[in-house]
Amino acid sequence: MPVEWTGSGPGLPLPVDRKSAEPLRSQIERALREAIRTGRLGAGERLPPSRVLAADLGVSRGLITECYAQLQAEGYLVTSPGSATWVAATACPAPDRPVRATDSERIRIDFRPAVPDLSSFPREDWGRALRRACRQAPTEALGYPDPYGTPALREVLAAYLRRVRAVATDPSHTIVCAGYAQGLQLLLRALADSGVRTVAVEDPGDPDHHTIGTMVGLNVVAVPVDDQGIDVETLEATDARAVILTPAHQSPTGVVLTPERRHAVVAWASARDATIIEDDYDTEFRYDREPVGAVQGLAPDRVALLGSVSKSLAPALRLGWAVTPPHLSAAVAKHKQLTDRGSPVMDQLALAELLRSGMYDRHLRHMRRRYAARRQALVEALRKHAPDIRLRGLAAGFNAVAQLPPGADEQAVIAAARRRSVGLYGMSSYRMASKTRTAQLVLGYGNLTTDAIHEGIHIVADLLQAATCPPQGGTE
């Protein structure tokens, strides 16, 4: 799509050599042709008015008018009386388009996990909150931001987390960051500075936990997850002094860390002088259970809670928070300052307005109803088209785990579904060390309509129920 500049558009610097024997008109015409041929000026882009370009280049307006007329005659430009001058669509080379393997396998119905309903972003509420922030922000707020985050957001965020997640915190230990991933990096760097060398992660679990831990120079060990959450006995056998958990809704299995294991992992952290990093993802969306409080509330001096609005509003906002143990707050804020000098202030103030006004809670209530309907659509679609498939992890969030029949080839099912333009995703991509005899799919339904869910399951139902290979060795 061509860029449509408003007003007179940006300047267009062209090389002009007044010492050259080549006439200025020829130089300018040649430079314009070259800019169009090389793609510097794209099809449909507007050129500066003749008087503006003439002033920029220090030549007469008549000279520029003659250049434009010549290039129009050659087919490079199009114009109309009293209107602007544009680059002709036929004058530009076709852009090189990289060939990708997926180009021939377009995904029409995508069960990608961990993607919220992007179409439901509250644009009007966000726009009002952003306009209010722009109107009311004091002048000093436009300087370099506080690496901890704006006081307005930290105050309302700390109060919100105390109310809805039973978090024990105050604004001085709440740090605003650019989403969960940055918060995790900042925490792991601060822990590495304090002498931590090994971090444990859940298996199966979020692959980014392993990637980020390795990136910051830590050894990463995988600890298995069962129906009660992370195996604390196996954790105790490692040399880890930090562990990353998703206790309220384990990613990707959906299990909840039991009360016994919550207390056990806190006891481990106290005995080991270790830190628990609690990933509080998608806990806003629960259906068949009472709210589960954060582990952080049990041991605020041992647990760092990470959250964001990526699932509740939209990933593109890049807004998150780290509720840190008191002894880590300054170190995390220091790394935040060195990383990006602080998160955008206006967005922070807009989020504070959403939280304070109740618009955020109202949006979450609306989305819970919407996701509940989509979850029910997934259950009904499988019951109708693939009744032998068992679903797990349905109590919260917008992902579910589908158990395929014994002997099913997970990757073969995924590849066959892709050829039918349906995106499926396997549990194997979440595993590090553990193996499984049974193939599993992680089905995301957050960004699909109920009709799309029914259609997608109908299209791949025979694949889900087919046994395509003999069982493989390993343990569940």
Each residue of 98-151: pLDDT tens digit?
555 444 468 999 999 999 999 999 999 999 999 999 999 999 999 999 999 999
CATH architecture for segment(s) 24-91 = Orthogonal Bundle (1.10)
Q: Boundaries of CATH 3.40.640.10 in the chain?
A: 121-357
Residue 226 has pLDDT above 90, yes or no: yes
Q: Which pLDDT score is estimated for 90?
A: 83
Tokens representing 51 are: 């008087």
- Mean pLDDT for 396-418 is 93
Residues 6+ apart with CB under 8 A from 146: 342
Q: Boundaries of CATH 3.90.1150.10 in the chain?
A: 109-116+362-465
Q: Which pLDDT score is estimated for 433?
A: 79
> How does residue 395 score in pLDDT terms, banded at 50, 70 and 90?
confident
Residue 468 has pLDDT above 50, yes or no: no
- Mean pLDDT for 85-105 is 66
Q: What is the CATH number of domain 109-116+362-465?
A: 3.90.1150.10
Nearest-angstrom CA–CA distance, 154 and 174: 6
- Mean pLDDT for 422-448 is 89
pLDDT in tens, 19-63: 999 999 999 999 999 999 888 888 888 888 888 899 999 999 999
Least-confidence region, from 182-196, 267-281, 285-299? 285-299
CATH architecture for segment(s) 121-357 = 3-Layer(aba) Sandwich (3.40)
**Do the strands 390-392 and 399-403 form a parallel or antiparallel pair, or are they unpaired?**
antiparallel
Nearest-angstrom CA–CA distance, 41 and 10: 12
Least-confidence region, from 4-18, 49-63, 75-89, 214-228? 4-18
Q: Which pLDDT score is estimated for 437?
A: 63
| Residue 371: C-alpha distances to residues 311, 401, 455 (Å) | 12, 16, 17
**Do the strands 320-323 and 109-110 form a parallel or antiparallel pair, or are they unpaired?**
unpaired
pLDDT > 90 fraction of the chain, expressed in percent and rounded: 76
* Under 8 Å between Cβ of 422 and 106: no
DSSP string, 346-406: HHHHHHHHHHHHTHHHHHHHHHHHHHHHHHHHHHHHHHHH-TT-EEE--SBTTEEEEEPPT
Q: Boundaries of CATH 1.10.10.10 in the chain?
A: 24-91
Q: Which pLDDT score is estimated for 475?
A: 34
Q: Which pLDDT score is estimated for 328?
A: 97
